[in-house]
Amino acid sequence: MVAMFMSVIRYHNILEVIDHKFLLAGHTHMECDSDHALIEKKKKTSKTIIYHPHDWMQLVRQTGKKNPFIVTPMMHSDFLNYSELLKNQLQMKKKNSNGEKFVWKNVKWLRFKKTELGILYYKETLDIDAPFKSLSLCSKGRSHYQLTPPLCYNRPVPIAEKKKKDLLDLLPMIPNVFHDFYKNLPTDATLKETYPNNETDTEEENS
């Protein structure tokens, strides 16, 4: 995330400062939570049958009478790997400019400035009057930073072979016009099938 913000402010023509604040425990409701609820409600009441990802896009577009959602289709080439910038251009350090230990889980507020690229300003409070601390991500010997991230994927993202087999088993219940989409899905033999109930969220920690 830090690398992403630094890249954006480096190349954006208008942005001079970016502030990012983290939600506090017990106060995590976001506007998008209501949006998700609207989409779920629309799915329950809609007569639209989902056969293809495009059907999901159409359903979301139909959600919200006063403020319809804008759906932006994305290709695999639209996803950028900002973490690569921390392997060469930038260096995440363990201590701030005052020699204090930098602990991610304590951070509440981030600030990035176009005039000070490579410097992460942060607070461990949301108090507007509290001063920012700073952490340099500059690598020694570098005076210029190329902060253009590489692509995450150089080809469409494959799925597990077992998952594709399960999808192909459903083809008799799917209109013929969509069969080629499922038959042409790329697979990777090294991928293991995952299920929603087994997925866990991971949080960023200091190493």
pLDDT confidence tier of residue 200, bands split at 50, 70 and 90: very low
**pLDDT tens per residue across span 69-126:** 999 999 999 999 999 998 888 888 999 999 999 999 999 999 999 999 899 999 999 9
| pLDDT for position 201 | 44
> What is the pLDDT averaged over residues 125-132?
96
Q: What is the 3-state secondary structure (H, E, C) of the chain?
A: CHHHHHHHHHHCCCCCEEEEECCECCECCCHHHHHHHHHHHHHHHCCCCCCCHHHHHHHHHCCCCCCCCCCCCCCHHHCECHHHHHHCCECCCCECCCCCECCHHHCCEEEEEHHHCCEEEEECCCCCCCCCEEEECECCCCCCCCCCCCECCCCCCCEEHHHHHHHHHCHHHCCHHHHHHHHCCCEECCCCCCCHHHCCCCCCCCC
pLDDT confidence tier of residue 196, bands split at 50, 70 and 90: low
**pLDDT tens per residue across span 17-63:** 999 999 887 777 777 888 889 999 999 999 889 999 999 999 999 99
Q: How many CB atoms lie within 10 A of CB 157?
A: 12
pLDDT confidence tier of residue 204, bands split at 50, 70 and 90: very low
Q: What are the boundaries of each domain within the chain? A: 1-154, 158-193
Q: Choose the weakest-confidence range: 65-74, 160-169, 172-181.
A: 65-74
Whether 114 contacts 128, CB under 8 Å = no
Residue 38 makes CB contacts below 8 A (sequence gap 6+) with 63, 64
| pLDDT for position 127 | 95
